[in-house]
Amino acid sequence: MIQFFGKALVEKTAELMVVGYMGRSDMDSMQSLKSNWQELSCKASDIEEEVNREEMSGKKKRKSEVDNWLKGVKKLNSEMGALETRRSSWRLPLKEDPVGKLQLQVKELIDQSRHFNGLVLDTYDNIGDPCLPTKLFGAKFEEVLKRIWQCLMNGDISSIGIYGMGGVGKTTLAKHIKYHLSENTNYLVLWVTVSQEFSVTSLQDKIANVLSIHLSNRDEEEVRADKLRGAIRKMKRLIVLVLDDVWQEFCLDSVGIPLDARNCRLILTTRSLEVCNRMRCQRKFDLKTLNPNEAWDLFKYKLGSQTLLHGDLEDIAKSIVKECDGLPLGIITVAGSMRVVSDICEWKIALEQLKECSVGYDEMERDVFPILEWSLNRLNECLKHCFLYCSLYREDSEIKRKELIYLFIWAELMPKRNSRSEEFDQGHMILNKLIKVCLLEETTDCKGDDCVKMHDLVRDMALRITNGNSKLKMSRDVPQFLLGGPAHL
């Protein structure tokens, strides 16, 4: 009893002291602010979760006003923390009312949230569906797609492995599966790119991100795994987790993936059959290269109707396609480089150069690296150096176009222009050309910002070339704010 009254006395004394410094009305204002801030925080959490869930489909993106509103709430969060710190040092009446100022900002944000006419926008036109992945070529690809679909419809299959050499089309096939599954409301497809820089923690973070849940970095891996496992099991729809570009085996349970045909199924892509076996995939599918006729059809499709092939020109083009040995990535890259080229002499030179190309490479990439190097060598020096600088970003990075152009300007890779506006126009033109020759891929990030991305094999080739390129040695000094984090080098 004495302890109880002693504690009450201390609490009352502390309250009177604060009232003495702030005044009773200030105390009431502070309590009101805390109440309103709690309401705003809960509202922001709900909106963030809903927006992230919508964006996972790949067909929606957050409205700019919603994104700005969420940023406003985050900014206010730090100001609330600073207010709590400053309160302990208040002794005299303040010239301004920080509590009242924050109260107005909080109420304004609450009011704004009540007038959102929807939180997201479509990322595609209603005419057609650009979310449909690149067209599949080859009877083998169509056959594998059908067989995988049958496995997914079979209630007993929980894990599927797709393997094959780099550039053969594993990711494209997985994107087709994701697209078709996304049309079925019974499934929730989660896509995670794993890549070479693997760790259990990083994979947990990626899965948590697509699930829109938070994992504390201070927790042990086992605790984080339990949270992921619980979140997945709570999902009302059947989860299909696609792990793209897996390089090494790992324990699913240690990550927090509760593999169960009734609740969570796994599709992984890898270059290694051994990885499929060690991951205990119940069904494994080997992707092979295209036959000559399929390769020729893909080449013509990617070349486009503007380039007419006839007579000797068609024979040379077929010889060029033959050098690609049925590898889709190589065919697509070559077609992009030869698009709108009509001079037969240029086609002849391209064929000879392609035959002569060689760059240090492993056995796995023996077919594609010379093709990629050939495509790179067809660029002028400005385009070549701008392309090689893209390899400074980490594997599978979605690189903002604006950020990349800042890097080009900083590194003085482009001819100087009269104004920053002209330099940016030039930078966009360079990126567009690299996209057209299929050395960069066009994409958007979760916020809808225009980005570019490098295929992992294309990046591998670029890194090997940069090792012997003296001009690019200054890449070690690239400002980190331009790269969005630690540079590769």
Q: What is the pLDDT of residues 393-418, one digit of tens each?
A: 888 788 899 888 988 888 888 888 88
**What's the pLDDT tens digit per position in 37-50?**
888 888 888 888 78
Closest CA to 232 of 208, 252, 250: 208
Report the pLDDT value the prediction gives residue 266, as an integer from 0 to 100: 93
The partner residues of 408 in beta bridges, in order of sequence, read none
Alpha carbons 356 and 369: distance in angstroms, whole number: 12
- C-alpha 288: how far from chain center: 27
Model confidence band, residue 324 (pLDDT cutoffs 50, 70, 90) = confident
What is the pLDDT of the chain when averaged over all its residues?
Answer: 78
Of 59-68, 91-100, 269-278, least confident by mean pLDDT is 91-100
Residue 8 has pLDDT above 50, yes or no: no
Q: Which residues contact 294 (CB under 8 A, 6 or more apart)?
A: 137, 138, 139, 326
Kindly report, residue by residue over 464-482, the tens digit of the pLDDT.
777 645 455 444 455 554 4
Which residue type occupies 63? K
For the residues 175-192, what does the mean pLDDT come to? Answer: 86
Residue 1 pLDDT greater than 50, yes or no: no
Tens digit of each residue's pLDDT (9 = 90 or more) over 209-228 = 888 888 888 888 899 999 99
Q: Percent helix, strand and coil across the chain, each rounded to 5?
A: 55, 10, 35
Give residue for tokens 């005299």. Answer: 92
If one compares 481 and 278, the residue with the highest pLDDT of the two is 278
Pair type for strands 238-246 and 187-193:
parallel
Greater confidence (353 vs 363) lies with 353
The per-residue pLDDT for 466 is: 73
CATH code of the region 139-286: 3.40.50.300
Q: Are 399 and 453 in contact (CB under 8 A)?
A: yes
Tell me the β-bridge partners of 284: 161
For CA atoms 403, 407, 410, 412, the dihedral sign is negative
The pair of three-digit structure tokens given for residue 355, joined into one six-digit string? 């035959």
**What pLDDT is attached to residue 345?**
92
In angstroms, how far is CA 357 from the centroid of its own chain? 32
CA separation for the pair 118, 469 (Å, rounded): 51
User: What residue has token string 């068609």?
Assistant: 314
DSSP state for residue 447 in the 8-state scheme: T
Position 474 scores a pLDDT of 43
pLDDT in tens, 415-456: 888 888 888 889 999 998 888 777 888 887 767 778 898 887
Tokens 């050309």 locate to 433
> What is the predicted pLDDT for the residue at 60?
64
Which option is the CATH number for 379-483: 1.10.1670.40, 1.10.540.10, 2.70.180.20, 1.10.10.10? 1.10.10.10
457 φ, ψ to 5°? -70, -40
Report domain 292-375's class: mainly alpha
Using DSSP, state whether 443 is helix, strand or coil. strand
Q: Which residue has the tokens 């067809």?
A: 378
Question: Does pTM surpass 0.95?
Answer: no
Q: What is the pLDDT of residue 479?
A: 53
Residue 480 has which token pair? 């980190």
Compute the distance between CA of residue 454 and CA of residue 430 in angstroms, rounded to an integer: 15
Q: Which of 24-38, 61-75, 98-112, 465-479 is the least confident region?
A: 465-479
Rounded mean pLDDT, 99-119: 83
Predicted confidence at residue 358, as pLDDT, reads 55
Pairing of β 264-270 and β 238-246: parallel
Contact (CB, 8 A) for 368 and 431: no
Position 436 scores a pLDDT of 79
Q: And the tokens for 364?
A: 């796995």
Q: How far apart are CA 370 and CA 465, in angstroms?
A: 12
* pLDDT value for 438: 75
- Residue pair 237/185 in contact by the 8 Å Cβ criterion: yes
Is the model's pLDDT at 86 over the cut of 70?
no
How far apart CA 317 and CA 481 sit, in angstroms, is: 44
| Domain residue ranges in the chain | 2-116, 139-286, 292-375, 379-483
- What local confidence, expressed as pLDDT, does residue 4 receive? 38
| Mean pLDDT for the stretch of residues 275-297 | 90
Helix (H, G, I), strand (E, B) or coil at 108: helix
The answer to whether 74 and 52 have CB atoms below 8 angstroms apart is no
User: What is the distance between the alpha carbons of residues 466 and 305, in angstroms, rounded to a whole number?
Assistant: 35
Most confident region among 6-10, 367-371, 471-475 by mean pLDDT = 367-371
Residue 276: the pLDDT is 92
Q: Is the pLDDT of residue 159 over 90?
A: yes
Instruction: Please check the confidence at residue 3 and state whether its pLDDT lies above 80.
Output: no
Best CA proximity match to 413, nearest among 451, 387, 441, 378:
387
CA distances from 24 to 29, 106, 413, 421 (A): 9, 21, 64, 56
Mean pLDDT value of segment 127-155: 75
Between CA 427 and CA 429 the distance in angstroms is 5
- pLDDT for res 27: 67
Q: How far apart (Å, rounded) are the C-alpha atoms in residues 427 and 385?
A: 12
Residue of higher predicted confidence among 154 and 328? 328
Q: Comparing 158 with 101, which gets the higher pLDDT?
A: 158
pLDDT digits (tens, 9 = 90+) for 226-268: 999 998 888 888 889 999 989 889 999 999 998 887 888 999 9
Positive or negative: CA dihedral 90, 91, 97, 103: positive
